[in-house]
Amino acid sequence: MADEKVSSLTIRAFDGTRQPMADGIDTLYRIFDGNQKQIFQSELKVSSQNFKLPFFDNFGDNYRIILFSDNFYQAGFTPVHLTPTTPATLDLMLLPKKNKFDFSAADWPTIQLKLPFLANGVDPAAAKSRYEDVMANKPKVLAALLNITTAMGHIFLPAGTALSYLKQIIWDESMAQDRFFAYCDAALIDQVRQAAEQKHFAPEFGASIFHPGATASWKQVQFGEANVQLTFHEGSTKIIDGMLCMVVESDIDYFKDPAAHGLLEIIPNALTGGLTNPESVYVLRWIAGRHAGVPEFAPPYTIVKA
């Protein structure tokens, strides 16, 4: 095959600690071109492998990659657009099926500095106690909180980040493994409107149908996967530190366009009904960020083998 008809792709496998997987683990690499033809399928014992793949100069260059290893959840990504002029790298994360959260980097003294809105409006001892109770008894809820706030910290608005507008969390049963509610500076909604005008967010119509009491909602459109959705409840307000605040509901969806991504093939069992799985969000957001070349999605926890 002539050089001008070949594209270069390096596929790298990482584990839930965001570090390269150890070599020696049998991993099935599957590569499909944009014509849905399987180009490569074989088990390899390496966490990084370069491939020379056909160049079509059309939609055939939109590749689909899937990795699978025993005792791990498979992961994949599409489309990976390849050209012969620019070598590409795709990083994928494989989580062990038997896993647990490692919150050692998310102790309360560290988190109260990173996320001061968690302690606002409550006695310091009570804030610490309720946080550590969630860590011990509702780890998925804490993982979701750390996923969403980390992602919000990467959303740069005309003034500040989305995270910087959060003033006080609503710490009650509404906190779940897929969302949380908080009072935010009322200026956040106008900041998101401006970001939507610049095509960084898209409006979610009929927000009140899926979010009772909501008046407006926008979803981030930066990635194909794991975008933040901000839903506002403008009728629920409170003065905090002399500032008018309103309730914002924050969550992360799996996919922007489910039909385009072959959900059941890329992340099996991700959409089995019920609430969004923070482990799936962790994987999808990390992969999406690596592919987009933005700062790494690195919430203050990891997922390790149980």
pLDDT tens by residue, 54-108: 999 999 999 999 999 999 999 999 999 999 999 999 999 999 999 999 999 999 9
pLDDT of residue 198: 96
| Strand order across the 88-93 sheet | 48-54, 6-14, 88-93
Which one is predicted more confidently, 271 or 135?
135
pTM: 0.92
Tokens 């780890």, located at residue? 139
Q: Is the predicted pLDDT of residue 266 greater than 80, yes or no? A: no
Confidence of residue 206 (pLDDT cuts 50, 70, 90): confident
Q: Is the predicted pLDDT of residue 258 greater than 50, yes or no? A: no
Q: Is the predicted pLDDT of residue 302 greater than 80, yes or no? A: yes
Q: Which pairs count as long-range contacts for 113-119, CB under 8 Å and 24+ apart, including other chains?
A: 114/300, 115/149, 115/163, 115/166, 117/166, 117/167, 117/168, 117/169, 117/182, 118/169, 118/171
d(CA 226, CA 251): 9
pLDDT of residue 256: 64
pLDDT of residue 274: 63
Strand pairing class (6-14; 243-252): unpaired
Tokens of 64: 């689909």
pLDDT of residue 209: 83
Return the SS3 of 9.
strand
Q: Is the predicted pLDDT of residue 290 greater than 80, yes or no? A: yes
Segment 158-163 shows an average pLDDT of 97
Q: Is the predicted pLDDT of residue 273 greater than 60, yes or no? A: no
CATH 2.60.40.1120 fits 3-93, yes or no: yes
What residues contact 233, with CB distance under 8 A and at least 6 apart? 181, 211, 213, 214, 215, 246, 247, 248, 249
Segment 8-17 shows an average pLDDT of 98
Q: In angstroms, how far apart are the furthest CA atoms of the chain?
A: 69
Strand pairing class (88-93; 6-14): parallel
Strand pairing class (228-240; 243-252): antiparallel
pLDDT of residue 144: 97
pLDDT of residue 122: 96
Q: What percent of the chain has pLDDT over 70?
A: 92
Segment 147-158 shows an average pLDDT of 97
What residues contact 34, with CB distance under 8 A and at least 6 apart? 56, 58, 59, 60, 61, 62, 63, 64, 79
Which one is predicted more confidently, 225 or 1?
225
Return the SS3 of 293.
coil
For the chain, which residues make up each domain, given as ranges? Answer: 3-93, 99-305
